[in-house]
């Protein structure tokens, strides 16, 4: 008999997206699925929708529980899962009909513990392929951990992956914490002998204006900073080969936290004064001065940036008001070149 895949869907107030999500799972070309819908105390019609689908498809099991957050919902789903393999789909996302067939075939063909597919970012109905690498790549334990810390083509998302269930035997998602994937995926990968990655985009990640990543609060800043520092200490003590990569990710996290705090405080007096020094000194002339939504001129990085960091060095106020991702590219990418990371 074909191996059973348990697909876990944490559900919370997703009535406008949930049907598309479930439909994309039940239409999978690989049919030996156990679909676990964990209704995490929804206050809208999500729970009713879950029950409605359970009546239509015997592969669906619905768990209704008090609200405990995304991590708790995933952990409950894992504890109920009967499959040899586990996958996750967020309730506002959806997947291609052959995603799990492709991911399982990759695990079988390459004798891997985890398989990963590429994804689409869905923004206002537009689908954009996330990673541009082509083909299929195999990674050893150490190589995949380096990729996770570089955070380029391999991200820590729980979804877009298929896992051997036994990887979760001693690992749980941290309850009550946001950015829970970062606090889990690295440790799952550490237990693997081999991971295989395909460039085929099979997962549709809906970027919503009201999602966690677009609603930064003091709590979310504290959560992801705490999770990264805990992981930094663990790697420093246990995986010496990752020292440079570990330092890079910590620096990136601190930059992110700094920018988020500044945005949270919304102190315009301390933002960039638009003097243009970075623009004038940029060797590649990739910086342009643009007006932000509050009427302030700020530097913005365009094509051709080599992440030399000169724009940061020449800033007289040391307050370049780049967007979060751009600041990370300038500071952290310049730092990674100094460390000669590959």
At 70-119, the pLDDT tens digits run: 999 999 999 999 999 999 999 999 999 999 999 999 999 999 999 999 99
Enumerate the β-bridge partners of residue 47. Answer: none
Distances in whole angstroms, Cα of residue 308 to Cα of each of 149, 197, 319, 331: 20, 30, 17, 8
Give the pLDDT confidence of 196-250 residue by residue, as tens digits: 999 999 999 998 765 555 567 778 888 888 899 999 999 999 999 999 999 999 8
180-184 average pLDDT score: 90
CA distance linking residue 145 with residue 98, whole number of Å: 27
pLDDT at site 320: 46
Nearest 10 degrees: CA dihedral of 63, 69, 72, 75?
70
Give the pLDDT confidence of 279-331 residue by residue, as tens digits: 666 766 666 656 555 455 556 666 566 555 566 656 655 544 444 444 444 44
pLDDT at site 258: 78
Q: Please work out, in degrees rounded to the nearest 5, the angle formed at the alpha carbon of residue 325 by the alpha carbons of 320 and 326.
A: 45
152-158 average pLDDT score: 90
Please answer whether residues 278 and 321 qualify as being in contact, where contact means their C-beta atoms are separated by less than 8 angstroms.
Answer: no
pLDDT at site 210: 59
Pick 17 or 322 by higher pLDDT. 17
Nearest to residue 150, comparing CAs of 309, 324, 339? 339
pLDDT at site 268: 36
Lowest-confidence region among 147-161, 203-217, 228-242, 264-278: 264-278
pLDDT at site 286: 66
Give the pLDDT confidence of 331-342 residue by residue, as tens digits: 444 444 444 555
Cβ-proximal residues to 246 (8 Å cutoff; 6+ apart), any chain: 149, 232, 235, 236, 239
Q: What is the pTM of this model?
A: 0.77
Q: What phi and psi, each to the nearest 5 degrees, are found at residue 52?
A: -60, -45
């Amino acid at each position: 008999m074909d191996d059973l895949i348990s697909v876990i869907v944490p559900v919370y107030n997703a009535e406008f997206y949930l049907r598309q999500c479930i439909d994309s799972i039940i239409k999978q070309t690989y049919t030996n699925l156990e679909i676990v819908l964990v209704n995490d105390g929804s206050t809208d019609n999500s729970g009713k929708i879950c029950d409605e689908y359970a009546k239509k498809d015997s592969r669906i099991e619905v768990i209704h529980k008090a609200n405990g957050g995304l991590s708790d919902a995933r952990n409950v789903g894992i504890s109920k899962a009967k499959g040899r393999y586990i996958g996750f789909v967020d309730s506002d996302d959806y997947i291609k009909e052959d995603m799990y067939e492709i991911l399982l075939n990759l695990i079988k063909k390459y004798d891997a513990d985890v398989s990963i597919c590429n994804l689409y970012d869905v923004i206002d109905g537009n689908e954009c392929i996330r990673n541009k690498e082509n083909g299929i790549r195999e990674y050893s334990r150490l190589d995949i951990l380096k990729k996770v810390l570089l955070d380029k083509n391999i991200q820590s998302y729980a979804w877009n992956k298929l896992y051997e269930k036994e990887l979760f035997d001693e690992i749980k998602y941290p309850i009550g914490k946001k950015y829970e994937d970062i606090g889990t995926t690295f440790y799952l990968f550490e237990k693997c002998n081999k991971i295989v990655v395909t460039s085929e985009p099979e997962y549709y990640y809906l970027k919503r204006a009201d999602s966690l990543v677009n609603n930064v609060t003091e709590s979310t800043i504290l959560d992801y900073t705490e999770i990264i520092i805990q992981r930094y200490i663990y790697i420093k003590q246990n995986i010496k080969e990752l020292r440079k990569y570990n330092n890079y990710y910590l620096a990136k996290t601190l930059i992110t936290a700094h920018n988020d705090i500044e945005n949270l405080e919304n102190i315009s007096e301390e933002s960039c004064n638009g003097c243009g020094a970075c623009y004038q000194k940029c060797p590649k002339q990739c910086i342009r001065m643009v007006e932000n939504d509050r009427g302030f001129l700020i530097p913005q990085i365009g094509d051709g940036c080599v992440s030399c960091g000169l724009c940061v060095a020449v800033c007289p106020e040391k307050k370049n008001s780049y967007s979060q991702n751009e600041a990370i590219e300038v500071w952290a990418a310049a730092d990674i070149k100094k460390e000669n990371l590959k």
